[in-house]
Amino acid sequence: MRRRISCSQTWVCKMSVSWTDWKTDDKDGEFAGPAKQDIRRTYSFPNIDSAGGIATLTIVCVLEMTMLPDGENVSLDRKLRFYLRPFRLQHEANFIMGFMTRAESHGGEFDVLAAPSGDEDGMAIIAKYGGRNDVSACIATLRAGRDLVFSLQDEQESLVNFLLPNDDTFQRLYDETIQTLQQRAVLNQILMVWNGPSKRHRRCLSW
């Protein structure tokens, strides 16, 4: 059973919303894998209901970059996840997610699949989208640097409607992260070659 976050609380949330800075989190592992980093921010909405509860929405943009076999070009994989709490789900469910700038110049409505998050009870995660270009459209909306509207509805009613303050920080971190990942992807490729099957042969030559 979902716990409904009443849309009648929208403007109350707008007046009292707080948020963390956009920050990057390095996810690089072994050199053999892709260069990986994410950018995230959490919005908090106190007094979301009569009991004085707090709702949170965390946005996580994951960027992965891998050097292609030609050794010259790279591929970029982008993922976008929304973590919403409290939003209790027993199983995966389809919703319509609105994610757009307040002036509606960027973004739109997207078919999404929300699922229970195994990390925390009462939290839902949105990471699956109905359209192949939906993630790109949502990231472009974030990069616009304007205040955002996030909404969620099922076939019957509106469940969530938040106004999210935004600025150009995400755009700056996004560009910086892309440059960093390009450099790491090249370095990872060099390390893979150096530590590859020919490593033993190079050692013999060095003797």
Written as one letter, the residue type at 89 is L
User: Residue 69: its pLDDT value, please?
Assistant: 72
pLDDT of residue 161: 92
Residue 1 lies in a domain: no
Q: What is the residue-averaged pLDDT of the chain?
A: 82
Residue type present at position 174? Y
Residue 205 resides in a domain: no
- Within a domain: residue 204? no
What residue type is 136 in one-letter code?
Answer: S
Q: What is the pLDDT of residue 1?
A: 30
Residue 202 forms part of a structural domain: no
Residue 100 has pLDDT above 90, yes or no: yes
pLDDT digits (tens, 9 = 90+) for 145-155: 999 999 999 98
What's the CA gap between 10 and 6, in Å, rounded? 8
Residue 187 domain flag? yes
Residues near 155 by Cβ (< 8 Å), separated by ≥ 6? none
What are residue 40's DSSP bridge partners?
Answer: 23, 60
Flag whether pLDDT at 204 surpasses 50.
Answer: no
* Domains contained in the chain, number: 1
Residues 78-99 pLDDT 10s? 999 999 999 989 899 999 999 9
Q: Where residue 9 falls among pLDDT bands split at 50, 70, 90?
A: very low
In terms of residues, how long is the chain? 207
The token duo for 197 is 């099957």
Maximum CA extent, the chain:
76
User: Does 207 fall in a domain?
Assistant: no
> Does 203 score more than 50 pLDDT?
no
Residue 80: CB partners within 8 Å, gap ≥ 6?
Answer: 59, 60, 61, 62, 127, 135, 138, 139
Residue 15: the pLDDT is 52
DSSP secondary structure code for residue 127 in this structure: E
pLDDT score, position 201: 46
What domain range is 164 assigned to? 7-197
Token match 């050794």: residue? 71
Instruction: State the pLDDT at residue 49.
Output: 64
Q: Is residue 203 part of a domain?
A: no
| Domain assignment present for 193 | yes
